[in-house]
Structure 1
Amino acid sequence: MDESEHLLGQSRAAQTNKVRYAGRSTRRLVATVAVSVMLVFTFVAVAMFRPWPLPTHTALHRGDRKLENIVDDFKSDPTAKSEKVLVELFVMSRCPDAVKVEEVFSSVVTSVHSIMDIQLNFIAALNPNATFGADCKHGDAECRGNIDELCALRHRPDLPSFWRFLLCLNSHFEDIGRDGDLSLKCASGAGLDTAAFLTCSLQNEGRSLLKQSAENAQFARVSTSATVFINGKPRCVEDGDWYDCPGGHTPGDFIRDICAAYKGSTPRPSICAQYKPTTFNDDDGY
């Protein structure tokens, strides 16, 4: 083979290698572009469908309450997502004024329990070193009574059943929190689940409920037993006598206001037809 043929052979080989390398480069470029497209698509899909965190309760942004307290509210309060009118009683289990208000509300509960619910907020000073985690005005017996009432409310089959329990306790006022058998007898007589009630009352659940209840009272800045709120608004106070009750303080007055405040889809009880909203109701958004 002469030199010219040798050079021609080398030239052809070089061209073949260039074509081969060009093909490899093209394939690499295509693969790189494909991977990039897949990564971009994946990122966009994640950005579009990722369940980003939901806004937290407004109170958290204000710093009014701790996160665990807000979470506990929704766990422990059966009315958190309810259409029912919330009646809050700020009370103490061994307070005569509380007993007086609860007696008035016995007629209210009987009449309009289908559109209302009750929340008990016990007035006490939190104290982690105290027997029940709080200092109650009338001693540990009152703390014990508070816990029993909270546990009965938590494990009630319905509101009238809880009210039967409450009236049973109040009928033995001097023994509230002192007679270990009284609460159990009242729970059984009212038709409560006595096993669940006892477990709550004697273990940490009851103390947690008392802590949350006292925090609710502090958060609302209520220190007088007995104070009544309807749907988060102050409605009336009984402290030796009734006052700050612009809408009245008879059972009928409370029934009227609860009927007026109810905005749910369930029909109102027939008794609501007997009452017309007052100017007081309209001004306060009831």
Structure 2
Amino acid sequence: LNINGTYYFSCQHGPAECKGNLYQSCALSQNQGDRKNVEFVNCIMRRNPDHFVNVEKCARKHEFNAAKIRNCSRTVEGSEFLAQNGDKTLQLDPVLSFVPTIIYNEVYSDEDQQESLKDFAAVVCSKIDGDKPEICANKRLPKSRGFFEIF
């Protein structure tokens, strides 16, 4: 909700989820590329994504600028990034009814959704043409918590 330039967010799992989503939105705004975005999001989703110390660890590991993420999360720009992601969520077809809902290349597929819940990395890796990130060398990854979108 945007009231006179001030954003107010409500997330399914409460304020901590909103904070984690804000950190992820700010990180992804750094435009590090699909490979680094996937690796960063997987890293942060394996931890508690609303604690900044975990954001810092993943940022350092995957070459994101943690200071920029922190600064972004405290600005209107960061709120705008999160609002844009929220708008994308509201525009989903079919309407979001389950978290996590996983969408690839802006297209929802029941088959991809079900397979992603079993082995997210395998499905992501199958969608990448050309050189694949290191994470694709692993057979299976632990299931992630929460909702995120990879741009």
Q: TM-score, normalised by structure 2?
A: 0.65
Residue among 81, 86, 98 paired with 1:224? 98
Q: Whose relative contact order is higher, 1 or 2, with alpha carbons under 8 Å and at least 6 apart?
A: 2
- CA distance in structure 2 between the partners assigned to 1:169 and 1:270 by the alignment: 23
Post-superposition offset of 1:215: 1.2
Distance 1:167 1:253, change over 3 A: closer
Asked if the contact 2:44/2:54 (under 8 Å) is kept, the reply is yes
Residue among 223, 235, 245 paired with 2:111? 245
What RMSD, in angstroms, separates the aligned Cα atoms of the two structures? 3.1
Secondary structure of 2:102's aligned partner: strand
- CA distance in structure 2 between the partners assigned to 1:225 and 1:213 by the alignment: 15
Asked if the contact 2:101/2:113 (under 8 Å) is kept, the reply is no
Counterpart of 2:30 in structure 1 is: 155
User: Structure 1 residue 186 and structure 2 residue 58: aligned?
Assistant: yes
- Aligned-partner residue type, residue 106 of structure 2: G
Post-superposition offset of 1:247: 9.1
- CA distance in structure 2 between the partners assigned to 1:210 and 1:148 by the alignment: 9
Secondary structure of 1:229's aligned partner: coil
Residue among 27, 39, 50 paired with 1:164? 39
- Aligned-partner residue type, residue 194 of structure 1: A
- CA distance in structure 1 between the partners assigned to 2:81 and 2:10 by the alignment: 14
Higher strand share: 1
Post-superposition offset of 1:270: 7.2
Identity %: 25
Higher helix share: 1
Give the paired residue count: 125
- CA distance in structure 1 between the partners assigned to 2:90 and 2:58 by the alignment: 29
Secondary structure of 2:103's aligned partner: strand
Rg comparison, structure with higher value: 1
- CA distance in structure 2 between the partners assigned to 1:247 and 1:223 by the alignment: 12
Post-superposition offset of 1:245: 1.2
